[in-house]
Amino acid sequence: MSQSQSPDALPLKSVADATGSFLDQLKTKAPRRLEAKVSSADGMPLLCVVEAVLGEALPRSTVQELVWLNGAPASGAHVLQLQAFGADNTLLAEARHEFQAWPITRRGG
């Protein structure tokens, strides 16, 4: 984990829900390729959540491109961008979600 967030402070459930909702839109469109980009200083755990959701929902024949754009956007938020492409590389759907970065609270003393 980087210095900026603890695992408990990351929006893991929100990222999973957003990815699932995106896939729900694609049920009748049969994407051949899905691209997910996460912009965050702590992108690896978020990308792992996206990969888990995609792995459960998509057929193995669907190509998955998962990209971690290291570093947070200027706002410090976590950004998830999803795109689905058809057999002829036509864009079928896209979505962009921004999740607020939560400050770390220290316990103990």
CB 7 within 8 A of CB 37: no
Q: For the chain, first and last CA: distance in Å?
A: 22
The closest of 41, 59, 54 to 82, measured between CA atoms, is 54
106 domain-assigned: no
**Which tokens hold the place of 55?**
């792995």
Answer yes or no: is 108 within a domain: no
Domain containing residue 12: CATH number? 3.30.1330.90
Please give the residue range of the domain that contains residue 53.
7-99
Cα(97)–Cα(38) distance, rounded to whole angstroms?
A: 10
Is the pLDDT at 6 greater than 80? The verdict is no
Report the domain count for the chain: 1
Quote the pTM value: 0.82
In this structure, the strands spanning 91-99 and 63-70 are unpaired
What pLDDT score was predicted for residue 13? 95
Mean pLDDT of the chain: 85
In a domain, 44, yes or no: yes
